[in-house]
Structure 1
Amino acid sequence: MRARALGLATHQFRAFGLEGLAKELDPDPGRVVVSMVAVGSAAEGPAEGRDRRTAAHLRSAPWSER
């Protein structure tokens, strides 16, 4: 909410180098990094030439339970 109040956008993601990040941040014992949030100005849309997968494609992926 704070980011939005400042006119910024946020996007949660899980695709990152967990081992390298854990080594760099050295979290306290018992704590684990499981997610990250990018904060910044929202893009107008996907970059030219970038194709996004459809929801149907994601649901039919090999890891999907559906």
Structure 2
Amino acid sequence: GGVKRGHVFGDTDELGYHAIENPIHVHDVQATMLHCLGIDHEGLTFRHKGRDFRLTDVAGEVIDGVLA
């Protein structure tokens, strides 16, 4: 699927509550999955109450560090 197998990306505190290295957002995960499917996440929009929204919001970015 285009993602590195058995790869750890980032690090958390000792209890696993907070990301301390390479924090990512769910929009980044969505953008990365769409990228692997060959879909441009910046061009994918939906209309709600007369306004176009991006599925990955304006902050979603592809996580290059997890791609094979």
Give the TM-score band, short-chain normalised.
under 0.3
Q: Which has the larger radius of gyration?
A: 1
| Structure with greater helix share of residues | 1
With the length of structure 2 as denominator, give the TM-score of the two structures. Answer: 0.24
